[in-house]
Amino acid sequence: MNKKSYDERTTRQRAFWRANVALLVKLLLVWFLVSFGAGIVFAEPLNAYNFLGFPLGFWFAQQGSIYVFVILIFVYARKVSQLEDIYRQGSKRDTTDDGEPS
């Protein structure tokens, strides 16, 4: 491998990683807000509102946060696959399933 293509690979890999971390930060912020935010820290004021017969804070703590968790994982799986398509080195067949270069 010549120097230039090595540098390009590294740059691409770094760019992918930055994009991935930015995505992670966004999703984990949502994760934090629904559980620790709505379900715990702000549960009491939210309990003043009624949702589906539940006090809202209580609903987030025992129901809502769990639904959001499921959605977050699938959103991540989708988005990161798109990122991988953008930043993947060369063709799709470049690596084996275990990630070792073929």
Partner 1 sequence: MSTAMLTYIFVGLTFSLYIGIAIWSRARTTSEFYVAGKHVHPVLNGMATAADWMSAASFISMAGIIAFMGYDGSVYLMGWTGGYVLLALLLAPYLRKFGQFTVPDFVGDRYYSRLARLVAVLCLLIVSFTYVAGQMRGVGIVFSRFLEVDIELGVFIGMAVVFFYAVLGGMKGITYTQVAQYCVLIFAYMVPAIFIGLLLTGNPIPQLGLGAPLLDDGGLTVLQKLDTILVDLGFGAYTDGSKSTIDVFAITAALMIGTAGLPHVIVRFFTVPNVADARRSAGYALVFIAILYTTAPAVAAFARLNFVDTVHQTSYAETPDWFRNWEDTGLIAWQDKNGDGVIQYGAGDAVVGGTPVYDGDARGTHGERLLHNAPTASANEVYVDRDIMVLANPEIAQLPGWVIALVAAGGLAAALSTAAGLLLVISTSISHDLMKKTLFGQLSEKQELLSARVAAAVAIVIAGFFGIYPPAFVAQVVAFAFGLAAASLFPVLFMGIFVRRMNREGAIAGMLAGMGFTWLYIAYFKFWEPAANIPANWWLGISPEGIGFIGMFVNFAAAFIVMRFTAPPPEEVCQLVDNIRTPS
Note the residues at the interface with partner 1 (CB under 8 A): 10, 13, 16-17, 20-21, 24, 27-28, 31, 35-36, 39-41, 43, 47, 51-55, 58-59, 61-63, 65-67, 69-70, 72-74, 76-77, 80-81, 83-84, 87-89, 95, 97-100
CB 38 within 8 A of CB 69: no
Q: Crossing angle, helix 65-87 and helix 3-32, to 10 degrees?
A: 170
Question: Between 1 and 52, whose beta carbon lies closer to partner 1?
Answer: 52
CB 54 within 8 A of CB 46: no
CB of 83 to partner 1, least distance (A): 7
